[in-house]
């Protein structure tokens, strides 16, 4: 049996995030998700963004590391609640998610809850005093033009950097810049600092299909992306 709770981050999920969330987990009777505020222990209503905690017989006990920093993993893999059942060991997934009631019903006729996974906590961006999630901005950019096959965003010195993969001629790269800046401004009220147009396959993706935005950022800072076109809006 797998149990899941989420640690409140204090953010209500916008309708856009609910529509664009990367994946959802429909909860069976053997899976019990709850949204809890760790400080007070009170139940949180649905659609609040939280960090997901998991308790399962299959939980890992740590990462393999050659550096011997096991102490850094204790809080990640051996977390305990400060209220109620304080003996059960939970693993912090490092992912943000929210609960939402669905229209699906189980064998007893009761409606299911679903746990939607928004993205990694350490990839959430703080801009203009607000938290933004890369998947929201990336989805808007991908929809802006048929030649954009993939997109990844990150921050650099308080600037928003948008990297887009182009499936088309190099002449189209220049046309993408105003489209990208306009859609991000109109849908997210953010000014794009840098637009980087690259070839297909430049944005790194791991074996789980997740974008490696921090690796992409490192490549951008080291001038290793070999872009088709770069536009700076400083």
Structure tokens at 181: 């800046």
- Predicted confidence (pLDDT) at residue 31 exceeds the cutoff of 80: no
Question: Of 126, 204, 135, 124, which is closest to residue 165 (Cα–Cα)?
Answer: 204
Give the chain's domains with CATH numbers: 2-122 (no CATH), 125-232 (3.30.300.30)
The per-residue pLDDT for range 170-179, each reduced to its tens digit, is: 888 888 999 9
Give me the pLDDT at residue 4, please: 52
Report DSSP state, residue 28: P
CB contact set of 171 (below 8 Å; sequence gap of 6+) = none
The per-residue pLDDT for range 175-204, each reduced to its tens digit, is: 899 999 999 999 999 999 999 999 999 999
- Predicted confidence (pLDDT) at residue 18 exceeds the cutoff of 70: no
| C-alpha to C-alpha distance for 104 and 140, rounded to whole angstroms | 28
Contact at 8 Å (CB) between 113 and 100?
Answer: yes
The per-residue pLDDT for range 89-135, each reduced to its tens digit, is: 778 888 888 877 777 777 777 777 777 887 788 888 888 888 898 99
Give the residue with greater pLDDT, 160 vs 54: 160
In whole angstroms, what separates CA 145 from the centre of its chain? 23
| C-alpha to C-alpha distance for 11 and 7, rounded to whole angstroms | 11
Cβ count near 122 (within 10 Å): 10
The per-residue pLDDT for range 140-167, each reduced to its tens digit, is: 999 999 999 999 999 998 899 999 999 9
Helices first, then strands: H and E counts in the chain:
5, 12
């Amino acid at each position: 049996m797998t149990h899941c709770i989420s640690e409140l981050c204090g953010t209500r999920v916008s309708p856009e995030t609910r529509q664009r969330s990367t994946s959802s987990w429909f909860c069976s009777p053997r899976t019990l998700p709850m949204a809890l505020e760790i400080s007070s222990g009170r139940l949180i209503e649905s659609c609040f963004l939280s960090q997901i905690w998991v308790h399962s017989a299959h939980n890992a006990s740590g990462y393999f590391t050659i550096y011997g920093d096991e102490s850094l993993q204790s809080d990640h893999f051996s977390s305990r609640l400060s209220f109620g059942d304080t003996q059960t060991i939970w693993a912090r997934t490092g992912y943000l998610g929210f609960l939402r009631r669905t229209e699906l019903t189980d064998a007893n006729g009761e409606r299911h809850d679903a746990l939607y996974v928004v993205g990694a906590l350490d990839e959430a961006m703080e801009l203009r005093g607000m938290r933004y999630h890369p998947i929201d901005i990336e989805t808007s950019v991908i929809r802006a033009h048929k030649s954009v096959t993939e997109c990844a965003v990150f921050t650099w010195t308080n600037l928003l950097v948008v990297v887009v993969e182009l499936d088309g001629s190099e002449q189209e790269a220049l046309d993408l810049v105003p489209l990208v800046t306009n859609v991000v401004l109109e849908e997210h009220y953010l000014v794009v600092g840098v637009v980087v147009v690259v070839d297909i396959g430049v944005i790194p993706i791991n074996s789980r299909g997740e974008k490696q935005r921090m690796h992409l950022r490192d490549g951008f800072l080291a001038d290793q992306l070999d872009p088709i076109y770069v536009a700076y809006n400083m």
